[in-house]
């Protein structure tokens, strides 16, 4: 009987500790499932918060990138920014590609989107700027045949470090598997300021890098922040690059 009581006490403590740990993770929704409240839109060629041809919209509780009102895509790259800058956090969401790419879209933009982190603000982008200076967590969908990993990293106007090497290539692939078809994919990014960043797909860490910083030529010629400046914080934004894509369950966990 004594041993039975001890065993019950141990189990009670284990459950209590687990529940206490779960309560500490205060995930907050960034998208309300009803409208675009809390987000700012910047589409190339249009002023701040002009939602050109309803590129960004909410339908059935999902944030959608749509091109059904376009006759042809002419480089109107779009980004929708969460309202406040972030530094130390976990971001998780689900995404999926749907349908056909808009006519006029570049071949590399087929089933291509992403979430930018440590980004400049929407308000600071130039009217004809393609992409914000940022680090891109790239989302790619398969073509049904070829290998095409997702949650890669791309660096418009920035550089990163992998191990001890400064990476100046525009994109570096992750180790993820390929997701073919219109399937929902669970993506997570863990960001510790200008220190370590992890990309996670369906619970698996597929890429890790560090020391994000301003660098390279893929940014406005008169960009006011000098090369080599560490990126300690910035905005997050979702991409519209000519292929319809949907997002849901966009949540944030702030880290100390």
Q: Which two tokens stand for residue 28?
A: 């907050």
**Residue 16 placed within a domain:** no
**Residue 48 placed within a domain:** yes
CA 102 to each of CA 57, 74, 181, 243, 251: distance values in angstroms, whole numbers, following the listed order: 16, 10, 17, 6, 29
Sheet holding 112-119, edge to edge: 39-43, 78-82, 235-240, 112-119, 135-140, 152-154, 171-172
**Residue 155 placed within a domain:** yes
**Residue 183 placed within a domain:** yes
* Among the listed residues 226, 215, 208, 38, the one whose alpha carbon sits nearest the alpha carbon of residue 137: 208
User: Helix and strand tally (H, E) in the chain?
Assistant: 1, 17
d(C-alpha 171, C-alpha 90), whole Å:
22
pTM of structure? 0.90
pLDDT in tens, 223-252: 999 999 999 999 999 999 999 999 999 999
pLDDT in tens, 23-82: 678 999 999 999 999 999 999 999 999 999 999 999 999 999 999 999 999 999 999 999
Instruction: Determine the structural domain holding residue 60 and report its residue range.
Output: 27-254
pLDDT in tens, 188-209: 999 999 999 999 999 999 999 9
Q: Provide the terminal-to-terminal Cα distance of the chain, rounded to the nearest Å.
A: 45
Residues composing the chain: 256
**Residue 2 placed within a domain:** no
State what percent of residues in the chain have pLDDT above 70.
91
- Overall domain count for the chain: 1
**Residue 8 placed within a domain:** no
CATH number at residue 178: 2.60.120.560
| Segments in the chain forming alpha helices (H) | 2-24
Across 129-151, average pLDDT: 98
Q: What is the pLDDT of residue 128?
A: 98
């Amino acid at each position: 009987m004594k041993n039975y009581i001890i065993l019950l006490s141990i189990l009670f403590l284990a459950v209590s500790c687990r529940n206490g740990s779960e309560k500490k993770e205060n995930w907050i929704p960034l998208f309300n499932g009803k409208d675009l409240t809390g987000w700012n839109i910047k589409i190339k060629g249009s002023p701040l918060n002009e939602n050109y041809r309803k590129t960004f919209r909410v339908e059935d509780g999902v944030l959608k990138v749509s091109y059904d009102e376009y006759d042809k895509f002419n480089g109107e790259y779009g980004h929708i920014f969460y309202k406040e800058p972030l530094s130390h956090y976990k971001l998780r969401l689900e995404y999926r590609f749907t349908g056909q790419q808009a006519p006029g879209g570049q071949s590399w933009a087929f089933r291509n989107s992403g979430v930018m982190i440590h980004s400049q603000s929407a308000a600071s982008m130039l009217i004809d700027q393609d992409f914000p200076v940022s680090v891109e967590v790239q989302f790619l969908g398969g073509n049904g045949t070829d290998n095409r990993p997702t949650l890669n990293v791309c660096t418009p106007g920035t550089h990163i470090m992998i191990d001890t090497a400064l990476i100046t290539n525009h994109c570096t692939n992750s180790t993820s598997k390929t997701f073919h078809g219109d399937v929902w994919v669970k993506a997570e990014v863990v960001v510790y300021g200008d220190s370590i960043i992890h990309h996670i797909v369906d619970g698996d860490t597929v890429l890790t890098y560090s020391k994000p910083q301003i660098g390279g030529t893929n940014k406005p010629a008169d960009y006011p922040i000098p090369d080599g400046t560490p990126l300690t914080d910035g905005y997050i934004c979702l991409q519209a690059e000519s292929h319809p894509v949907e997002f849901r369950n966009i949540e944030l966990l702030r880290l100390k």
